[in-house]
Structure 1
Amino acid sequence: MKKWMFILAIFNTPLLWGQEVVPCPEFNQIMRDAEKAEKAGDYRNAILRYNAAERCNPAMSADIDKRILKVFDKIEQLRKKAESAQRAAEREKRTAQAEAQKARLAEDKADQNREQAELAFTRLTQQINKTDEEARRAVQKSREAKSAALAAKAQRLQWEDPTLAIRLAEAAYEIHPGDDAQEAINDIFSYKENIFYNKEIPNGSPVKAFAIAPDASVFITGDDKGVCRIWDIKGNKLQEFQGHTKEIKKIVFTPDGTSFLTAGWDSLIRLWHRDGSEDRTFQQAILIEDLAVSPKGDRIAFCAQNDSIVRIWSLNGENLLQLKGHTKDVNAVAFSSDGDLLATAGSDDTAILWNTSGDILKTYASDYGNIDGIAFSPNGSELLIASGKPEIWRFRIGERVVVNSNYTNITCAVYSTEGHWFATNSLSDASVTIWHTTGERFKTLNGQAAGTPVSGIAFLPDYRTIITTGVNGIIRFWDIYGNLQNIYDGHGSFIPALAMSKDGLKIATASDDGSAKIWSLHGQELQVLKGHKNSIWAIKFSPDGNSILTGSEDKTAKLWNLKGEVLCTLNGHTGGISDVAFSTNGEWLLTASSDSTARIWDTTGKLLYVFKKHQSGLSSIQMLEDGNLLTGSYDGTIRTWNQDGLEKMVLKPKSTGIKSVAVSPDGNIAAITDDETVMVWDKTGQSMLKMSGLPDLLFGLAFSADGKSILTSNFLGDVSFWNLQGKKIASLRYHQGIARQIICSPDGIYILVPGGPFDSNSATLWLTPQAWLRFNIAPMTESDIITYGIREFLEDYGK
C-alpha cells in the first residue's frame, strides 16, 4: 500500500504545493470514462482517467485515490493470478513432461517387450517347425518301415496268394516308393508261375456246392446253412433264399438251363426254376453225396453217404434203377455228354462205367486210393478221375494216364469246355492246378489260405476264365492267360514284323508267307496286303495312319493304302530289306538293307539319297525327333546322319554287330549287340546301361511309352521288362515263338509282339504290367486292408 501511496504522491505533487484549482467542466465525463475503463478491465486507461479527473478536480483527490488504489489492488490480484497460473502451468508442464517421460519409458519397455515377444515367437516357431519336422520325419520313418514290412510280407505271400501279394506290394509302393516296394512288385510280376485272379466276391458263408448254367450267364452257390445264392456272371447277386435246412452238398443245372437241382444233408433233393422258385421236392432218408442230371434231362443219378448203391430216378421222382457194383461208399457220379453212359467212383478205389440199362461195361482200379471225383471229357471218350493223383482213363482205347503230381486228396476234377485242359483241387495245399490233357501241368492257382480248400471249379466258354469257390466263402474269377488281351491269327507262317498305328487303333502284321495284314485293335481282320514275292521283314504305319510301308526279302519296299492297293514300289536295293520307316512328317520313305546301304525316297518312289558309310548289312533305320536319321548295322556301329549324309554321331560298342536299335521318347538309344548284350546311351552318346550275360539269341527290343523301361525278347519266346538300372520288372506269361520285334502302344497300355500262347504264326496283344495291375487284377478287400493295417495310409483305396 505504501508503494501505491508513493505513486499517488508523485502523480498529485502539483496539488500538494499549488493553489486551489477550480474543477474543469469535463470532470464528470472523465470520471465516467475512468469507471467504464475500470469496469471493462482496462486498468491502465482507468488510472490515467482517474489521474486526469483528480487534476481536473483536486477536491476529489481523496475519493479518487481510493478508486485508484482499488484499481491497483485489482492489478495486483491479476498479477498474482497470472503468477499462480504460470506456476500451475509450469507444474502442469512438469507433470506433462514427467508423464511424457513415463510414456517414453513405457514405450521403450513396450518395444523391449515386443522385441522379446518377437524373439520368443521366433523361437517358438522354430521349435514348432523343429517339432513338425521331427514329426514329419517320424511319420516318414513310419511310412518307410510300414512300406518295407509290407513289401517283405508281399514277397513271402506270393507263393500262397500272388494276387494279394502284388496288391500289398503296390500298397507298399504307395505308402513309400522305396526300393523294397519296387523290388517286391518287380519280383512278383517277373515270376511266371504267379497267376492273379481278377475278381473276388464274398459269398458270406462257406461255399459247399457250386454250379454254372449251360449258357454261362449265371452260377449258383450253396452254403453250409442250406442257403442258395444266384449270381450273374459278373458277380452280381440276383437271388438269395433258404433252399435246405442243412448243408447243401450238390447243385446241378438241367441241360436246358431253365432249372436246377439241389441236394442237401437234410435228405432232400429239390428242383428249382432258374429264378429261385421251387418246382418240386424229392424226399429220401439218406444223406446225398453227389448228384448228376442226364444230358437228355429225363433222369437223375445220385449216391449217398455210407452207401455203395447208385440210384437212378426220373425227374418225377420215380425210382428207375439201382446200380450195385461198388463194394464201399460211392462218392461221385457223372453222365457222358450224350447221356448214354454213367460213370461212378467210390472208396473201393474203383471207377465203374455203366450203360443206361445199368450194366457194367468197364471197371477202372486206381492205385492211389479213394476216388472222390469223376468227370467225362466233352467228347465223351475219356474219364478224369480224382484220386490221390489226377488220372485220365481213356476207356475206349484201354489207356490210362497218371498225372505225375505231388498233390493228394483231390475231390474236384473238371474239364474245360473245349476239352484241352482240366483242373483239379487239392485239400492238402488249398490250390487249383490246370493241366493239359496230356498230363502236363500248365499253371497252379494259389489264393486260398491254408486249411480253406477250393470246393468248386468251373471253366467259362471264353477258354480263359475259371471260377473257383472255397470253403472260406470266397468266389474268385481267374484269367489263366493273365495280361494277354488278343491274338491275331491267320498267317500261314511266322511273323517277323508288326506295327501299330499312331492312334493305337490298328495293327499290321508281316509274315514269312509274303503277305501282310491290317487288323483292328480288337482282332478283326481288315485287309490283306499281297504283292511281295518273298518274306516281309519290316512293316510300318505312316504318321497319319493312312498308309503302310513294307520291306521284303525280295529286295523291294512297297507303299500301300489301307485298301490294300500298292501306291509305289521302291526298287534299287541289291539285298533284302531289313527295316523301313517314315520320316516324322511322312514325306520321306526310309529303307535299310542287307546290301549295307540306307536309302531315302519320296512318296512317289523317287530315290533321294543313298547312305553308304556302313561296312555291313543294316538291321535298323528310323528318323529322330531332331530330323536326323539313325541306322544300326552288323558292322558293329550305330550312326546318326542328316539327309545329306553328314554324320552327327557314331556309337561303337565292343561287338561285331548291332541286331536291333530302339529310341526312347526323350532320345535315349538302346541296342542289342550280337554278343547278346543290351546297351543304352543318352542322346549325346554317353553310356547309361550295359546288360551282359542275357539268354542267348536276343531279338526284339523296345522302350516303353514313357521311356522308363526296356523290353527284350529272345529265341525261346521270353519277353522281359527291365528298368534303366538293369533290374527285371516283369515277364510275359504263356508267350511262345520268336518275338523278333516289340511294339508299345502310344498310351502305354499295350505291347504287341509276334508269337502267341499256341504257335508262332500269330501276333499277340498284352497289357503292360502297370495296366494289368490297374485293369485286370482284383483289388484288395476291405478285410485285407484292415488286416494289414493300411487304411490310414491308403485313405482313398477302393473308394
Structure 2
Amino acid sequence: MTDSSTLKPSSAGAMLEVFISYSRRDKSFVQKLCAALRESNRSVWVDWEDIPPLANWRQEIYDGIVEANAFLFIISPDSVASYECKVEIEHAIKLNKRLVPIVYHNVEADKVHPALSALNWIFFEESNDFDTSFQTLLQAIDTDLDHVRTHTRLLVKAEEWQQKAKDESCLLRGNDLELLEQWAAEGINKNPQPNELQRDYLAASRSAENTYQRRERRRQRIALVSVSLGLMISTILGLITLSQYQKAEANRREAIAGQIKALSASSNAQFVVDQNFEALIDSLKAATMLLDADWVQGDTRLQALANLTQALYLVEERNRLEKHTDWVNSVSFSPDGQIIASASGDRTIIIWQPDGTWVKTLEGHRDGVLSVDFSSDGQILASSDLEGTIKLWRRDGTPITTLEGNGETIRSVSFSPNGEIFASGRNDGTMQLWRVDGTAIAPIAAHQDQIREVSFSPDGQVLASASDDTTIKLWQRDGTAIRTLQDTARVGSVNFSPDGQTIVSANFEGEVKLWRRDGTPLFTFAAHEESIRSVRFSPNGEAIATASTDQTIKLWRRDGTLITTLFGHTAPVRSLSFSSNGEILLSASDDDTIRLWQLNNPLGRVLEGHPDAVKQVRMNPSDESFGSFSEDGTIQFWRIDGALLKTLQINGIRAIDFSPTNPVFVISRDDSTSEGGLVEVRHPEGEEFRTFRGHTSWINDVRFSPDGNLIASASNDKTVRLWNRDGDQGTILQHEGSVFTVDFNPNGELIVTASDDGQVYLWNTDGTPVSSFRGHEGSVYSARFSPDGQYIVSAGNDQTLRLWNLDGTPIAVLEGHTKVINEIGISPDGQMIASASDDQTIRVWRRDGSLITVLKGHQEGVTSVNFSPDGQTLISTSDDQTVILWNVQDLSLENLVTQGCNWLRDYLRTNPNVEERDRTLCP
C-alpha cells in the first residue's frame, strides 16, 4: 500500500482542492487534518477509503495529483525517507503543482526535497496551536485560487490529450482556447506556472485552430460565390414569399379581430337580455384572444375589455348543473354543504358536488320527482313523486326503503331538525308524519286543497304547511293543530327564520307575507308580478330569497326592500336552497338546470332598494360608509360592502355631503314655503340640527370644507354661499349663470365652481376671484380638485373632461363619452379619474389622460361617482334606481382574465355541455 492518500470529492466532476502526500506512520494526524479540511468545505483524496479494489493504485495517485489544485506534503522523518512520497513529490514538481509543505515532526533541512526547502513551511507540531496553523494553511491554499484552478483545469485537459496519443479532438477550440491563452499571458508572474506539457498543449491547440480558421475562410470564399448567386434567386423568391406572408398575416389578424368583435357583440347582446353568465363566457373568450393579439387596439380592444368588465363585475351565477332532461322541481344542499341533491320530472334524483361534478343518478321513481330533503345529519335523503311514492336513500345513493302512497301526488317532504321524523304533504290536503324507519304516524286532514310545502321550525316543535286553500297552518309535532294563518291567494311556499320566531310565506299573486310565530301578521310586500314557488330565509336571517314563475329570483331585506334580482333562468324557478354559510344560493327551474348563485361577487355589486332615480353618492369619511339619495327623497346609508344601514325620507333633497370631522351630514333641499333652497345640517339619525336660508332658487351642490368649519352651497340663483357651522352666512360668490358644483382644495383655502356659462372659476375663500378657465362648450356640471390640489378636472354638457393647472392653463382634453357628463370623481391617490355620463357608462382614466377602461352596467344615465377612501372601490348611481360598487384595484386585461377564469373554472371543467375547445380556455 502506498504512503500517500487523497479524500475524493463527494460529487462527481467536482474539482479537488488538495492532494496530501504523507507517511503511513503519520496517519492519525492526516485524519485530523482531513476532517478539518472537510469541515471547511475543502475536498481531499484518501487512499484508505477510496482506491477501488484491483485498481492501478499508482495511476490513481497520479490522477489525484493532476486533478488537485494544491499538493500538501506532510514533513516528518518517515515521509522524507519514504520512496513513495519522493515519487509523488517528483510527479507534482513535473506538473508544476502548487506545493504546500506542512511540518508535523521536525527534520534536518538537508533531508527535505530542495523544492520544499525553498518554500515557507507551515508548522503543525505539538507545540503549535492547530487552529492557528490551519488558518495559515487555508490562506496558502486560497491564494490566487482562480489562477490555480485554471492551471488544474488546463492540466487535466493536457493529460487527457497526452493519454489519447495527442488526438486532435481533445484540443482546445474557439473561446475556450483564447481564455486559456489569456490566462497564461496574464499569469506570467504567478505560481504555479504552466509546465511543459501544458505549454505544448496550448501550442498544438493554437496551431490546429489556425489551420481550421484558414480552411474555414477558404470554404467561406467558395461558398460566398454560390451564396451570392443563390441570394439573387432567394431574394426574388423571398420578396414573393414575403408578400404572400404579409397578405396571409393581414388576413389572419383581420380574422382574429373579427372573432373578437363578434364575441364582444355577442357578450353585449347576452347582457342586454339578462344572460350575464353567457355574457361572461363570450367576453372571456374575446379577452383571452386579446392577450395574444396586442396588435388589436382602438375600439375593438376597448369594447372587448369593457364587455368583460361589465359581465365579470355584474355576474352572480357561479355555476350551472346540467344533466336532467326535464323540469328540475326541487334542490337541496346537504347540511354540511358537501353535496347537492336535485329532483326532476325525468324521474331521477342526481347527487352533485358543489363544484358541479356529477356524483350519481338515483333511479327508482316511476313518475316525476317533486321534492328532496336531507336529514339533519345529512345521512338520509327523502324524495317524493307525482304518484305519491316516498323513497329514502342513504347519502351515497343506496336505497333504504320505499313508502308506497295512495296515488295522491306528494309535493313536499321535510325532515325535523332532530332527524327523528319527517313530514309529507299530499294533493288531497293530507299531511303525513313518518318515522325515519318508514313507519307511518297517523295522517292529518290538514287542508281543503293540495299542500304545496311543509316546513319544520328550527327547534322542531312546530310544523307549518302551505296550501292552495289560501292558508298556512301551524301544527305541533304530534299533529295537533295550533292555528291557521289566512292568506288571500294560493300559498306556494312557507319557511321559518333561523331563530324560529318569524314565518315567511309566499303566494301565487307574487306577495310575500311575514308572520310572528304566534300567527300575528307583520307585513306584506309585493315581490313578483307572477306566482312565487319558493321562499327561503338566509342562514343569518337577514335576507329572504324568492323564486317565481317570472323566471327570476329576488333577494329582500326583512323590511321588504329589494337587495338584488338574479336573472338567468329561461323558465319558471321552482326551488331554492342556501348553503350553510349563506354565500351560495341554489335554484332549480323548468329550464332543466340547477344554478349556483354567488351572493358576494368581490368585484362588483348592484345595490337595489331606491324606488326612484338615484341622483348622488357621497362617502362618509368618519366611518367609511356612504350615502345615496333618489328623486323620491329617500336617503340610504350603506356600508362599503353593500349592507344597508338605514333609510331616511327627506323630500325635495338635491345634494348631500358628510362632515370630515363630526358625525353629521349636510343636505340641500327645496324650501316648501318659497322658491328658494335650504341647507340643513342633520344628525346621523336624520334629525334636523341647523337650517340655513338665503338662496332664492334650488341648491345643486353642498360641500364641507376639509376642516369641517365651512359649508359651501351652489345654487341656480347664480351664487355660491359660504356658511359657518352655526349657519352664519359669510362670503357670496357671484356668477353669471346657475352654479352646478362646488369643491374645496385640500387645505381649504381655495374653491372651484362650475357654471352653466361654460366656465370654471377659482376663488379664495374670502370671495376674491383667482382665475377662470374657458374651454368647455356649454354648461359645466362638475369640477373637482385633485387630492394633492395641483390640478382641477371639469366636465359637462360638451361630453369632455378637461384637466387644468391652477393658473387656468389646460393640461388635457379627455374625449369618449357620447352624452352629457354629470359628475367626476378622483381617486384618493390622484391616479384615477372616473366620469359618469348619460351614455350609461363610467369611464376610468389615468391622470395623464389615457383611458383605462369603460364600466358598463347601468341601464340608464349614470348620475354620480365617488371613490372609497382606500381607492379600491368606485361607487356609482344611476337613473335606473341602482347603486353599483366596482372594485377598481386592478383593471388590467391580465387581471380581469384571471378573475374571469377563477369564476368560470368549475363550470368549464364539469359542465357536460361545454365544448371541448372551451375546456382549455383557462390555464
Alignment-mate amino acid for residue 434 of structure 1: L
> Any idea what SS the aligned residue of 2:565 has?
strand
Shift of residue 262, structure 1, vs aligned partner: 1.8
CA contact (8 A) 2:336 2:378 kept: no
Change (3 A) 1:216 1:111: closer
Which residue matches 1:179? Answer: 299
Instruction: Look up the match of 2:316.
Output: 197
Shift of 1:276: 3.9
The one-letter amino acid of 1:797's match is: L
CA distance in 1, matches of 2:664, 2:487: 55
**CA distance 1:316–1:482, shift in 2 (3 Å):** same
TM alignment of 1:638-717, pairs within 5 A: 651-652=773-774, 660-661=783-784, 663=786, 670-671=793-794, 679-681=801-803, 685-689=810-814, 694=820, 698=823, 701-702=825-826, 710-711=834-835
Contact kept in structure 2, 1:421 and 1:434, CA below 8 Å: yes
CA contact (8 A) 1:374 1:386 kept: no
**Which secondary structure state, in structure 2, belongs to the residue aligned with residue 320 of structure 1?**
coil
Say whether the 8 Å CA contact 1:414–1:422 is kept in structure 2: yes
1:351 aligns with 2:351: no
1:730 to partner: Cα distance: 2.4
Q: 1:775 aligns with which of 872, 879, 899?
A: 899
Q: Secondary structure at the match of 1:412?
A: strand
Which residue of structure 1 aligns with residue 383 of structure 2? 263
Equivalent of 1:124, from 218, 230, 237? 237
| 1:302 Cα deviation from its structure 2 partner | 0.5
Q: Which amino acid aligns with 1:619?
A: D
Structure 1 residues 137-152: aligned runs within 5 Å:
137-152=250-265
Between the aligned partners of 1:620 and 1:341, the Cα distance in structure 2 is 61
Distance of 1:532 and 1:440 partners within structure 2 = 31
- Determine whether 1:163 maps to 2:277: yes
1:446 paired residue among 567, 570, 574: 567
Q: How big is the shift at 1:313?
A: 2.0
Matches within 5 A, 1:68-79: none
**Structure 2 counterpart of 1:779, which letter?**
L
- Counterpart of 2:678 in structure 1 is none
Q: Is the 8 A contact 1:593 1:618 kept in 2?
A: no
Deviation at 1:796, TM superposition (A): 6.2
- Provide the rounded CA distance (Å) in 2 between the counterparts of 1:442 and 1:765: 16
| Partner residue of 2:705 out of 578, 589, 613 | 578
Report the residue type matching 1:444 in the other structure.
T
Aligned-residue RMSD, C-alpha: 6.2
1:183-238 CA-to-partner distances (Å, cap 9, x unmatched) read 4664686699x941363264654665422345656644456565553646xx386x
- The alpha carbon displacement at 1:165 in A equals 0.5
CA change 1:775–1:499 in 2 (3 A) is: farther
Distance in 1 of aligned mates of 2:911 and 2:412:
38
Residue 744 of structure 1, CA deviation: 7.5
- Does residue 302 of the first structure (1) align with residue 429 of the second (2)? no
Q: Take 1:486 and 1:441, find their aligned partners in 2: how far apart are those partners? A: 11
1-side partners of 2:620 and 2:244: how far apart? 59
Q: Would the aligned equivalents of 1:422 and 1:436 in 2 still touch at CA under 8 Å?
A: yes
Q: Do the aligned residues in 2 keep the contact of 1:658 with 1:672 (CA within 8 Å)? A: yes
Whole-angstrom CA distance in 2 between matches of 1:688 and 1:495: 25
CA distance in 1, matches of 2:302, 2:911: 19
Q: Does the CA-based 8 Å contact 2:504-2:535 persist in structure 1? A: no
Aligned to 1:633: 752
Partner residue in 1 for 2:528: 405
Query: Which residue identity is paired with 1:416?
Result: S
CA offset digits 1:59-115 (Å, max 9, x no partner)? xxxxxxxxxxxxxxxxxxxxxxxxxxxxxxxxxxxxxxxxxxxxxxxxxxx999987
Per the TM alignment, residue 337 of structure 1 is displaced from its structure 2 partner at its CA by 3.9
Cα distance between partner residues in 1 of 2:826 and 2:495: 46
Equivalent residue, structure 2, for 1:567: none
* Structure 2 residue 520 is matched with structure 1 residue 361: no
Distance 1:446 1:291 in 2: 28
Provide Cα deviations, 1:298-322, integer angstroms capped at 9, x if missing partner. 4311134x54422112334343231
Work out the CA distance in 2 between the residues paired with 1:164 and 1:205.
20
Structure 2 Cα separation of the partners of residues 522 and 359 of structure 1: 42
Does the 8 Å CA contact 2:783/2:794 hold for their aligned counterparts?
yes
Alpha-carbon contact 2:393-2:399 (below 8 Å) kept: yes
Shift of 1:152: 2.2
Counterpart of 1:476 (choices 585, 596, 616) is: 596
Contact 2:873 2:889 in 1 (8 A): yes
Alignment equivalent of 2:855, drawn from 724, 730, 742? 730
Deviation at 1:413, TM superposition (A): 2.7
- Give the drift of 1:750: 4.3
Contact 1:249/1:262 (CA < 8 Å) preserved in 2? no
1:425 aligns with 2:550: no
Q: Contact 1:577–1:594 at 8 Å: present in 2 too?
A: yes
CA distance in 2, matches of 1:258, 1:495: 46
Verify the 8 A CA contact 1:248 1:262 in the aligned structure 2.
Answer: no
- Structure 1 residues 537-569: Cα deviation after superposition (integer angstroms, max 9, x where no partner): 9xxxxxxxxxxxxxxx9xxxxxxxxxxxxxxxx
Provide the secondary structure at the position in 1 that maps to 2:280.
helix
Give, in angstroms, the shift of residue 707 of structure 1: 5.3
CA distance in structure 2 between the partners assigned to 1:786 and 1:314 by the alignment: 38
Change in 2 beyond 3 A, CA 1:326/1:187: same
Superimposed CA distance per residue, residues 569-591 of structure 1 (whole angstroms, 9 cap, x where no aligned partner): xxxxxxx98248xxxxxxxxxx9
What is residue 576 of structure 2 aligned with on the other side?
A: 457
The Cα shift of 1:290 comes to 1.4
Would the aligned equivalents of 2:329 and 2:574 in 1 still touch at CA under 8 Å?
yes
2:369 pairs with 1:245: no
Q: What residue is the counterpart of 2:494 in the other structure? A: 374
CA contact (8 A) 1:720 1:730 kept: yes
The change in CA–CA distance for 1:374 and 1:592 in structure 2 (over 3 A counts) is closer
Is the Cα contact below 8 Å between 1:384 and 1:391 reproduced in 2?
yes
**534 and 467 in structure 1: CA distance in 2 versus 1, 3 angstrom threshold:** closer
Residues 498, 355 of structure 1: CA spacing in aligned structure 2 closer, same or farther, 3 A cutoff? Answer: closer
Q: Secondary structure at the match of 1:200?
A: strand
Counterpart selection for 2:441 from 320, 332, 337: 320
Shift of residue 406 of structure 1? 3.3
Residue of structure 1 aligned with 2:333, choices 187, 199, 212: 212
The aligned amino acid for 2:534 is C
Return the index of the structure with the highest Cα Rg: 1
SS of match in other structure, 2:903: coil
Given the alignment of the two structures, is residue 797 of structure 1 paired with residue 921 of structure 2, yes or no? yes
CA distance in 2, matches of 1:297, 1:784: 32
Between the aligned partners of 1:319 and 1:579, the Cα distance in structure 2 is: 73
Shift of 1:359: 3.1
Conserved 8 A contact 2:455-2:464? yes
Return closer, same or farther for 1:418/1:707 CA change in 2, 3 Å cut-off.
Answer: same
SS of match in other structure, 1:168: helix
Q: Is the 8 A contact 1:191 1:730 kept in 2?
A: no
Partner of 1:384: 505
Please give the secondary structure, in 2, of the residue aligned with 1:211.
strand
**Alignment length, in residue pairs?**
571
Q: CA deviation at 1:472?
A: 3.9
The letter for the 1-side match of 2:538 is: S
Give the superposition deviation at 1:291: 0.4
**Deviation for aligned residue 1:142:** 1.3
- Whichever residue aligns with residue 323 of structure 1, its letter is I
Contact 2:455 2:463 in 1 (8 A): yes
Post-superposition offset of 1:710: 1.9
The answer to whether the Cα contact below 8 Å between 1:352 and 1:360 also exists between their aligned partners in 2 is no
Structure 2 residues not aligned, in runs of 5+: 1-222, 291-295, 608-615, 628-638, 644-658, 667-680, 682-702, 714-732, 736-740, 765-769
Structure 1 partner of 2:536: 414
Shift of 1:162: 0.8
What is the SS of the residue equivalent to 1:798? coil
Closer/same/farther in 2, CA of residues 118 and 786 from structure 1, 3 Å limit: farther
Structure 1 residue aligned with 2:249:
136
Which residue matches 1:95? none
